[in-house]
Amino acid sequence: MKTEKTNASKSKTVLFFINVVIIIAMIIHVAIRTDLHLQHPEYSSPAAIELLNSLYYIIPLTVFDIIFLLLSKRKTKTNMKKQK
């Protein structure tokens, strides 16, 4: 029982670090793209359009979190069945 809790906490920690790394990469990417956009006055779109680059990072974050939730729920259901 104790190993299940430690495995769950380890997987939560790994997911947290994956989320943090992807968010940091997103911030850097969007900042660089916005800076490049602001250096070219001939671009007709507003600089805020560069925020759409964050979708490249938000989608994987969402997928990772959904998969983690589904797997953790499945694991808790199987553990509850084993205990009965």
- Cα separation of 48 and 37, whole Å? 9
Is residue 7 pLDDT above 60, yes or no? yes
Q: List pLDDT tens digits, range 21-47.
A: 999 999 999 999 999 998 988 888 888
Q: What is the pLDDT of residues 53-78, one digit of tens each?
A: 899 899 999 998 999 888 888 777 77
- Measuring CA to CA, which residue among 8, 1, 6 is closest to residue 74? 8
